[in-house]
Amino acid sequence: MQNLYSRRLAIIHWLTLALFITAFYFGHELDETEQAAAKFSLYPYHFLLGDAVLVLTLLRAYFVRKDGKPAPVAGGSPLANKVAVGIHHLLYVLLIAVPASGMIMLNSTGLLAAFQAHDVSKMPDLEEFAIHEIHATLIFILIGTIVLHVVAALYHQLILKDNILSRISLFGKRD
């Protein structure tokens, strides 16, 4: 097995993170904005960013199978390596489930109809729908999982000093 993720996997990894953060920002602004017209103008950005996260996640899953991934960290315990694999799988599932729940919300609440009619007055109050709570809960779990992933990477990099971040770095020589 190789020591590094392929360059395209590293690019997809960091681009997915940047797009997720941006989509989260727009989603937060949607929750905080009271004026319907302002919300109406923010939704398309949020939708496109969420769709991009989904597409990149699916591409990443494809390229992991095609390019392979690095071997488990040398000297790591079998349990720690299983937890790491589980966290990565959970990240993939959540990076698919969050945009999917957003699409379900768009299609099941009347929000899509409001956009198709270009009519702000038809915009539903999403908080009245269970799918809104599901979407928000999935985002909360995703953020917690990302934080766990980052803390583990920093622990490896700064405490164990095993240079694990070089595996996903955008810089440096690749095979």
Q: Please give the Cα distance from 112 to 118 (Å, whole number).
A: 10
In a domain, 1, yes or no: no
Mean pLDDT of the chain: 94
CATH label of the domain that carries residue 17? 1.20.950
pLDDT of residue 75: 75
**Strand, helix or coil at 112?**
helix
pLDDT of residue 174: 62
Instruction: For the chain, give the percent of residues with pLDDT over 90.
Output: 87
Q: Give residue 113's domain range.
A: 7-168
Reported as a single tens digit per residue, the pLDDT across 15-37 is 999 999 999 999 999 999 999 99
60-70 b/e (C-beta count within 10 Å ≥ 16 → b):
beebbeeeebe
Q: At what angle do helices 7-32 and 130-154 cross, to 10 degrees?
A: 140
Which amino acid, residue 92?
Y
Specify the number of domains making up the chain: 1
The three-state DSSP-derived secondary structure of 26-88 is HHHHHHHCCCHHHHHHHHHHHHHHHHHHHHHHHHHHHHHHHHCCCCCCCCCCHHHHHHHHHHH
Instruction: For the chain, give the percent of residues with pLDDT over 70.
Output: 98
Reported as a single tens digit per residue, the pLDDT across 110-148 is 999 999 999 999 999 999 999 999 999 999 999 999 999
Global confidence as pTM: 0.92
The answer to whether residues 17 and 57 touch, using CB atoms and an 8 Å cutoff, is no
In a domain, 174, yes or no: no
pLDDT of residue 124: 95
In a domain, 73, yes or no: yes
In a domain, 173, yes or no: no
pLDDT of residue 73: 81
Which amino acid, residue 109?
T
- Assess whether pLDDT exceeds 80 at residue 54: yes
Which amino acid, residue 79?
L
User: 135 phi and psi, to 5 degrees?
Assistant: -60, -45
In a domain, 136, yes or no: yes
In a domain, 77, yes or no: yes
Contacts of 109 (CB under 8 A, 6+ apart): 124, 126, 129, 131, 132
In a domain, 85, yes or no: yes
In a domain, 2, yes or no: no
Quickly state the pLDDT bin for 72 (edges 50, 70, 90).
confident
